Amino acid sequence: MTNYWVGDLPRIGIRPIIDGRRRGIRESLEEKTMNMAKSVEALLKEHLRYPNGETVECVIADTTIGGVTEAARCADKFAKHNVGLTISVTPCWAYGSETIDMDPMIPKAIWGFNGTERPGAVYLAAALAAHNQKGLPAFSIYGREVQDIDDNSIPEDVKGKLLQFARAGLAVALMKGKSYLAMGSVSMGIAGSIVDAPFFQKYLGMRNEYVDMSEFTRRIEEEIYDPEEFAKALKWTKENCTEGEDQNKPEKQRSRADKDKDWETVVKMTLIARDLMIGNPRLKELGFEEEAEGHNALAGGFQGQRQWTDHFPNGDFMEAILNSSYDWNGIRQAYMFATENDALNGVSMLFGHLLTNTAQLFADVRTYWSPDAVERVTGAKLSGKAAGGLIHLINSGSATLDATGKLERDGEPVIKPFWEITEEEAAACLKATTWYPGNTEYFRGGGYSSKFVTEAEMPVTMCRLNLVEGLGPVLQIAEGYTVKLPREVHDVLDARTDYTWPTTWFAPNLTGRGAFRDVYSVMNHWGANHGSISYGHIGKDLISLAAMLRIPVSMHNVKEEDIFRPSTWNAFGTDGLEGADYRACETFGPLYGRK
C-alpha cells in the first residue's frame, strides 16, 4: 500500500506490567501478563488499519515491566520504533508510579484485568492516581465482569474500549509532524480560512505550509506537471465525467471552445494540487526537482473564491476528485481537501478520515426545512427519520462522490475504505454524477460543478471544529442519518437553490433537550457555515480524540455510556460532563503546548 507522507506509520506500543517481586510472585505471572499483551496485539491487528490500508503495527516491550529500569528500556524501544500511543496491560498488582508511561506527548491507556486472584484493578487505580498527580491523563479500561486468572479472552466491553482508544490515539499520532497546506488565503471573509498556525502546532502537532494561488498559474503556464498523466487524466475525464446542460442564461454561457479549455484547466489543477500536497517523483525526472518534493500535507485547502474564480475555472472538479476514492489512476485513498481553504472544516474532515479511513463529505450547512415548510412548498408530509425536519447539506460541487450512495456493503449503501471499493462501484458513483458548467454569476471564470443527490439512508456523523476567542478550539458533533426523499419532493426543494450543486439531506438524531431538542435547534447551534460529514456514528470516537488533544466538545448527541475520556476527567465533575470536559481541557492545555 502507498504511504503518501514522509516517515514510517506510527505503531501502537503495548506495555505488559507485572508485580516485580521475585521468588515466586513475578515468575507465576510472566506468562499471563505477556499473553494479555499478545491478545491485545491480535485484537488491534484484526480490526484496525492505517488510512492507506495497511494493517496496524504493534510493538510489545521485550520483557514484562516490573520497575523503573524496565520501563525505561521499554520507552527506549518505543522511541526507536515510532510508537505513537501506548496501552499498558496487567493482571495483577504492580508498582504504580514506577511502571507508568511518562511520555507527556502521546495518548496512553491502561487495561487492568478484572480478576480476584491478583487483581489488576488495584494496579489500575494506583497507576491512574499516579498519572493524574503527574498531569499525564490516561484512559482507564476495566471489564465489567470478573474473569478467572487462566481466562485469556478479552471481554466485549474491554474490546470496545481498546479499539475506541486505539482509533483515536492513532489519529493523534498520524497528524503529528504532518502539514496543512493552504493554497491561497482567506475566501470571502470565511473565518475558517483564516489559518491559525498556533492552533495547528499546539493542538495537532502539525506545521503550516502556504502557497499563493499564482503557483497554479505558474505550473500551468510552465507545464510543471506530468504531461503523460495529464493526457491519461483528460481522456479518463472525458469518458467518465458526464457534462450537463448549461444552466446559465444564454448571454452568460461560455463558448464550447472555452468549456473545452476549462476541462483541460481543471484537470491540470487537480494534478497540481495533489503534487503540491504530497509531491511527485515524476517531476524530478522532468527537471523540476524542487517542485517534486511537495509539502508533506495530510490535508489542504484551496481559496478559490474570488480572486481565482473571477478569472479562472473554479476548483470544484479538483476538490471533488481529490476528496473521492478514485481517479484516472484507479481506486486509492481520498485526500482531505477543503473548499474555500476552510482549514477548520479541513481538520474536521481529517478527524473523520483518520478515525474511519473513509472519504469525507464537505458541505454547507445551508438550510433548515421544517415539516410545515416542506408541506407548504411541496404538499408532502415528511415521514420516517425526516419526520422532525431536515438540514440541507449542499455546496458548490466539491463533495466526495463516495457520498452518492452507490457504494454497498452486504447490500446496504455505505461509504467505505477505498480497499473495499470495486471498480464497478467507482463507476456507479461517477455515473450518478453530472458535471454542470459552473454558475457564471458566482464563477466568472467558468469551470464545472458536480451534481448528485445522496439517494440513500445511511448513518452519518456531522462535526465541525470552531475557534472562539478566549476559549480556543471547540468541537461540535451531530449524529444522524442521510435521508432519501421522494424525487418529486427533492426536486421542488432543490430547485430553490443552485441546481448544479450536490445535495445530501440530513436528519440529526434528537434527544429532546438542549441543542438536540429539535432539528431547528441543531441548525441554530451550529457554529459555522460548513460541516464535515463522515459515514457511521463515530461521535464517541470524536469525543475520545478531542479529549486527547484537549479540545472540549460544545454539543453532541452521543449516549453518556459511550463517552470515553481519560480517567482524570472524573476529578472535574461526574454530573455535568460537558462542564467537566471544558475544565479539564483548560487545566491541561493543548497536547503540544502544555502550560
Sequence ranges of the binding site for Mn(2+): 340, 364, 530
Return d(Cα 183, Cα 213) in angstroms, integer.
Answer: 6
Active site residue 340: yes
DSSP state of 15: E
Beta strands in 241-360 (DSSP E): 242-243, 297-302, 326-327, 330-331, 336-339
| β-pair partners for 434 | 242, 451
| β-pair partners for 369 | 390
Return the CA Rg of the chain: 25
Helix intervals (H) in 48-155: 68-80, 96-99, 120-133
Strand order in the sheet with 448-451: 242-243, 434-437, 448-451
CA distances from residue 399 to 81, 483, 503, 530 in whole angstroms, order as listed: 37, 17, 9, 12
Return d(Cα 578, Cα 339) in angstroms, integer.
Answer: 31
Return d(Cα 421, Cα 423) in angstroms, integer.
Answer: 7
| β-pair partners for 441 | none
Point out the annotated binding site: 340, 364, 530
Q: Could you write out the DSSP letters of every residue in 98-119?
A: HHS---TTS-EEEEE---SSS-
Residue whose cell numbers read 407548504: 376
CA distances from residue 351 to 171, 202, 354, 433, 448 in whole angstroms, order as listed: 7, 16, 5, 26, 28
| β-pair partners for 480 | 460, 508
Active site residue 364: yes
Active-site choice (101, 291, 364, 457): 364
Active-site choice (19, 41, 340, 342): 340
Contacts of 372 (CB under 8 A, 6+ apart): none
DSSP state of 200: I
Q: What is the dihedral of CA 123, 96, 203, 171, to 10 degrees?
A: -50
Q: Hey, which residues are catalytic here?
A: 340, 364
